[in-house]
Structure 1
């Protein structure tokens, strides 16, 4: 059974600007954010997954985006080293949670933002660089945490609006993924095309974070308002669940950003 780590949006807000989506002059509707987060959690649970929670911390509004806490492999986690000071305070709280929950913790000081920038495509780890993660971290992860059991493919992101891999790429199965090709380098385009069938997402739907999807067996949970990619995914036998993420898009986040798969 899939288990996912989430963090309640108790202190979620836009109090600083560290990506192109964030605008301090556009306040978060906090009751609506709570409603949207709760609906996402319920949708995840209705698809058969178990949700675990970490306590939110006052002063760390982006801790709600647990995907960036680290990368999970078996009972191991490579902790994130956040690029921006505004998020660096999250590390010790996630570190503590992982240790208390039986994970072996790996970390160093290389800039890296966890499952936001690293996604498994079957037995292949896709690791992105360009904005929030340093490419050199992936050789360390492969050797020290993955024990060379998993191949690693590094890919370059080129559009600052899609600053994490999970905003522009989502594996649906070991050989199928959705993606927004214009956010990737030409080299990445060739590499990924050779590894899996890729369903292209339009610019409009990519900017509504259609690629920021949570996959649980044959269920795909993504932000609502993305009919084109929904139709394409359903045509391949998946059931799509659209969830309103408007308040989290104000921080440049969607469904997947709010979730860290633990297995």
Structure 2
């Protein structure tokens, strides 16, 4: 059995396949980002999924693409957790989620700028063979522009500063606990504040036709274009591919802003995991 995983900070998608690429089962766990949790918590989260637990002795290969796996140190944390939980593995590949995004959207030999817009955000250039990243992420606190957590932060700030239109404020307070102490506990006392902030992205998407929400979305997209995509000199010459729920649900808004900047939208996938199956079968199992 072979396991493929695409993990963000909030959740991780898993698909089990056989040596011929046939799907055996798919499931989801909480995110396994080594920047947010330690090895023991990763193992706990794996144990919580019965379909993963009952098959752990059958897993021979794991291809794990995850947020927070940009350095050797972070990769080793994930690899140690997987090695301990899956005792009979013969091969464990751990790479940053950006690689999963590239493999899911961009064929080998094809050039593209590949972005992740989910709970967090990222942007890289794939030259057809190698991945190039000009800006290394400093995490959700200082970066992650246009991500779910940044959109959520903008929404909470607008609510707290009372610049959010009244009809949206009422609706937001009906759907979320907007008590300031509750918000601060989730931001400063509980783990994964970025994932908490990203829960507000659902409200942004559901109300994206409102003029005020459009301003938030367009401001974040333009920031992402200016500071991430335009780092690459050939950005106007190659397609811009997106992975993640924010990129998928804001596809129309992205396409419009990209066009205004002389850029071209390529693929926008919600779940890279589906595209990874084809890549793994063609390039990693032969």
| Higher RCO (CA < 8 A, seq sep 6+) | 1
Task: Give the number of the structure whose alpha-carbon radius of gyration is greater.
Answer: 2
| Higher helix fraction (1 or 2) | 2
